[in-house]
């Protein structure tokens, strides 16, 4: 989610350099990321790793249909989906809102309007990933959902780009609180109710929920144009 917001900022900020420049930058970042991943992959296995792989492969894993019927897992995935559906709708409608309601906003300001949310998201994800353990992750996630709701309520009431900074910071903070606690909570649920061999299926459902959120959010923006 935060990656898509950063991409929008890059595209709007670099529009005057040409349409190909942002894509070249993204291609270079993807190439560097791939090379770094290859550099840390080890193909050698010691005896302890072999035993761990053998023990894991003999465990019976639960199917995705079994996991998706678990109400607690559905709540965890649904919480992340509720935040990202709103963000996806905001990405498609906020630039149009700026052009219609704030005609004085320049293309640079239209791109930078997402920057406060990206910075707040980066800070809150790293901060509440640590603080959530002490606050209680479920409580941190609930507070984050409330902060996101308040931010979405305030954004349409703002009438200038500067005034949007506050709600955008609130939104990024709330999303960071939710997303930094949902992952560990989901892993803990799988550990307690199933087995560690089900991590793959559980997080596959989690990522599917994120993709569906952006699909629904970006598609529903047509209803508000």
Tally of CB atoms within 10 A around 23: 13
Alpha-carbon distance of 22 to 26, in angstroms, equals: 6
The whole-number pLDDT of residue 2 equals 46
| pLDDT tens across the length of the chain (225 residues) | 444 445 555 555 555 566 677 778 888 888 998 898 888 876 555 555 555 555 555 556 667 778 888 888 888 888 888 888 888 888 778 877 777 777 677 777 777 778 888 888 889 888 888 887 788 888 888 898 899 999 989 888 888 788 888 888 999 999 988 888 888 888 888 888 877 777 778 888 888 888 888 888 777 766 555
Q: What pLDDT shows up at residue 13? A: 54
Query: What is the reported pLDDT for 43?
Result: 57
CA–CA separation, 175 vs 158, rounded Å? 20
Q: Exposed, middle or buried: residue 98 (CB in 10 Å: 0-12, 13-18, 19+)? A: buried
Domain ranges of the chain: 64-224
5 with 87: CB under 8 angstroms? Answer: yes
Q: What's the pLDDT at 218?
A: 75
pTM greater than 0.75 (yes/no): no
Residues 193, 188: Cα–Cα separation, whole Å: 8
């Amino acid at each position: 989610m935060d990656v898509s917001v950063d991409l929008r900022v890059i595209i709007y900020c670099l529009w005057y350099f040409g349409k190909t420049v942002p894509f070249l930058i993204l291609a270079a970042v993807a190439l560097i990321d791939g090379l770094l991943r290859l550099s840390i992959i080890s193909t050698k296995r010691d005896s302890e790793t072999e035993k761990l792989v053998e023990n894991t492969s003999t465990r019976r894993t639960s199917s995705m249909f079994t996991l998706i019927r678990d109400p607690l897992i559905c709540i965890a995935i649904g919480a992340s989906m509720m935040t990202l559906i709103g963000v996806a709708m905001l990405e498609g409608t906020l630039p149009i809102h700026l052009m219609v309601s704030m005609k004085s906003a320049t293309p640079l300001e239209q791109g930078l309007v997402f920057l406060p949310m990206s910075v707040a998201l980066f800070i809150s994800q790293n901060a509440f990933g640590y603080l959530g353990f002490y606050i209680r992750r479920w409580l941190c996630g609930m507070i984050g959902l409330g902060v996101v709701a308040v931010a979405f309520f305030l954004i349409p009431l703002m009438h200038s780009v500067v005034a949007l900074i506050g709600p955008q910071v609130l939104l990024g903070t709330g999303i960071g609180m939710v997303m930094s606690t949902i992952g560990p909570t989901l892993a803990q649920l799988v550990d307690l109710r199933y087995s560690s061999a089900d991590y793959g299926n559980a997080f596959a459902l989690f990522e599917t929920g994120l993709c569906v959120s952006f699909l629904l959010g970006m598609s529903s923006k047509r209803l508000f144009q």
